């Protein structure tokens, strides 16, 4: 009896699992993973606001018409977070 040639089933399964893990890691590091429901988004924004205030910062909404923190004397402190409506909020120096 002849043995099958080519890739084994185990090798293919391990390859698929590795590909899924790679996609998840890429999504995490590129910000592609966002909270699914409104409550977790709002909790994330509340936590972000608290951290910003502890750094003596102020949370501002980022829109297309302004620069990162509005004025050149202000700078971004923590990064940004999106709320349940898809608005982006940033932490700026007071």
For the whole model, what pTM was predicted? Answer: 0.49
pLDDT reported for residue 47: 87
| Between 3 and 13, the higher pLDDT residue | 13
What's the chain's length in residues? Answer: 94
SS3 59: strand
Q: How far apart are CA 3 and CA 43, in angstroms?
A: 57
Per domain, the residue ranges of the chain are 9-93
| pLDDT at position 65 | 59
pLDDT per position as a tens digit, 60-80: 887 665 556 765 545 666 677
Q: pLDDT tens for residues 16-51?
A: 999 999 998 887 777 666 555 667 777 888 888 888
47 token code pair: 């936590």
pLDDT for res 46: 87
């Amino acid at each position: 009896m002849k043995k099958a040639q080519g890739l084994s089933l185990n090798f293919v399964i391990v390859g698929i699992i590795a590909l899924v893990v790679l996609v998840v890691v890429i999504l995490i590091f590129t910000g592609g993973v966002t909270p699914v429901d409104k409550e977790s988004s709002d909790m994330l924004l509340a936590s972000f606001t608290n951290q910003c205030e502890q750094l003596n910062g102020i949370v501002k909404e980022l829109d297309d018409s302004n620069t990162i923190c509005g004025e050149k004397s202000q700078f971004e402190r923590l990064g940004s977070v999106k709320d349940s409506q898809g608005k982006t909020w940033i932490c700026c120096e007071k």
